[in-house]
Structure 1
Amino acid sequence: MKLYGHPISTTTRPILLFAAEAQIPLDLVTIDLFAGDHLSPGFAAINPNRAVPVLEDGAFRLTEGSAILKYLAEHAGSPAYPAEPKARARVNALMDWFNTGFYRSFGYGLIYPQVLPDYAWPKAEMQAAALARAETEARRWFDVLDAHWLGAETWLGGAAPSLADYLGAVYVANGELIAFDLTPWPRVVRWTEAMKARPAWASVHTAFAGWCEMQRAARRYRIAA
């Protein structure tokens, strides 16, 4: 199978992480997002949305990271996407939760305007107001994640990681780009540390770690306190 993506992409990394742990071979075709490769006519012919990731399995082509994760888990018969209807529905709900309210506030609202020029607001006062609002919203989502979704078990899925863990932990780890402090949410800290200790995490996140280091050196972000 072929995966079009980028090793720092938020939507590519959960797929690479899960595939590595599930021993699903993927041929990564790197689409250089910083060079604008995803906007090229050639890539638009692959995905009219001009976004990564895209999975090709023979003649079958699939977009959207969440859908790709589910397809790969089905393909491998992985327990990370349980077959029992209620357990599967819970995983679906968690993945939708991360993809909608949580990451709209945390990723698109708080992180990206500080590290990606295309997402920054045109005036300093607009940027400051937008970041303040997004941070308030993000902290509310972290309260829910810590107090409601994460319980006594290490993983969101219970005794073992589910697809929601692979997706959500990568989204949360993006906070490292702006040195976001997770210590107010001890269950979130415990969970992210457990995910980072998994065998494939470090190798999948090598390029991302380099990007974080560049951001720390430049210190262009407003540290969320």
Structure 2
Amino acid sequence: MAPVTLYLVKISPTCRIVWLYLLQSNIDHKLVDINDVEEMEEAAGSLALTAGQMDVPILTDGDIVVFEAPAILEYLGKQYTGYANMGKSATTQATCSSIISWTNSELHRVAGYMFAYPQFLTKYRLDTDAANECLVECGIQRLTALLSKIENVYLARTQFVCGPQLTVADSFMVTTLLQSQWGGFNFSIWPKVKAWVLEVMNQPHWDTVHNAHKEFLNDVILSIE
């Protein structure tokens, strides 16, 4: 079969989770790294997306076009992997799917759009410094609450968020939480979260997928110093 194509930005957690799943599932694929708006417009035009979708990740498989990380993961699980790494039972698969959707919306909104991105990406900054600082402060408060929820609810009785086995839901949550590192956020006051993050990061292909994130993080640290 011809490889699927993933259009992505490598510092985006929603893109990284799809790329990680492709690698870990041994799905033949090629990457198109989108570096600017013009490249995204060209890609979207060539894909003839009826909804005008221009936000990565976007996956193409022949004539099929899928966008948004949860939908792409669902498609790959159904079409290629028999829902590998998404749980063995229907109950676990449902939980995994729900957490993936929650991560894509709520967790990424807080860790990314309320905390990390307004500090470092111009397109996400608010019009005034005061408003931007207020947004980031709200992001800190909300992220703290979410980490406490992960610590005391999701990880209260099990090693991973869907039970005793690592799933793609864990990987998506962790790669999203890592965006908070841009602003110097760490997980030291949440011992279960910290141990869980380290365990999730210790899996095949993680370093390959997160290399651009690490480079960006190093640039941020150097600019502060």
Query: Normalising to structure 2: TM-score of the pair?
Result: 0.89
Instruction: Say whether residues 1:58 and 2:62 are aligned partners.
Output: yes
Sequence identity percentage: 22
**Aligned residue type for 2:213:** F
For 2:32 and 2:109, locate their aligned partners in 1 and report how far apart those are by CA, in whole Å: 27
SS at match of 1:24: coil
Structure 1 residue 195: Cα displacement: 1.5
Structure 1 residue 158: Cα displacement: 2.1
Deviation >6 Å, runs of 4+ = none
How many pairs does the alignment contain? 218
Structure 1 residue 42: Cα displacement: 4.4
Query: Normalising to structure 1: TM-score of the pair?
Result: 0.89
Structure 1 residue 44: Cα displacement: 4.0
**For structure 1, which segment, 151-160 or 89-98, has the greater mean C-alpha deviation from structure 2 after superposition?**
151-160
**For structure 1, which segment, 129-138 or 94-103, has the greater mean C-alpha deviation from structure 2 after superposition?**
94-103
Structure 1 residue 218: Cα displacement: 1.4
Q: Match for residue 147 of structure 2?
A: 142
Q: Match for residue 40 of structure 1?
A: 41
SS at match of 1:211: helix
TM-aligned CA distance change 1:38 to 1:169, over 3 Å: farther
Aligned-residue Cα RMSD (Å) equals 1.9
For 2:134 and 2:55, locate their aligned partners in 1 and report how far apart those are by CA, in whole Å: 28
Structure 1 residue 123: Cα displacement: 1.5
**Aligned residue type for 1:57:** D
C-alpha contact (below 8 Å) 1:12/1:65 kept by paired residues: yes
For 2:10 and 2:187, locate their aligned partners in 1 and report how far apart those are by CA, in whole Å: 24
SS at match of 2:142: helix
Q: Match for residue 95 of structure 1?
A: 100
TM-aligned CA distance change 1:197 to 1:84, over 3 Å: closer
Q: Matches of residues 1-225 of structure 1 in structure 2 within 5 Å?
A: 1-32=4-35, 35-46=36-47, 47=49, 48-74=52-78, 75-82=80-87, 84-219=89-224
C-alpha contact (below 8 Å) 2:17/2:175 kept by paired residues: yes
Structure 1 residue 113: Cα displacement: 0.1
For 2:183 and 2:173, locate their aligned partners in 1 and report how far apart those are by CA, in whole Å: 17
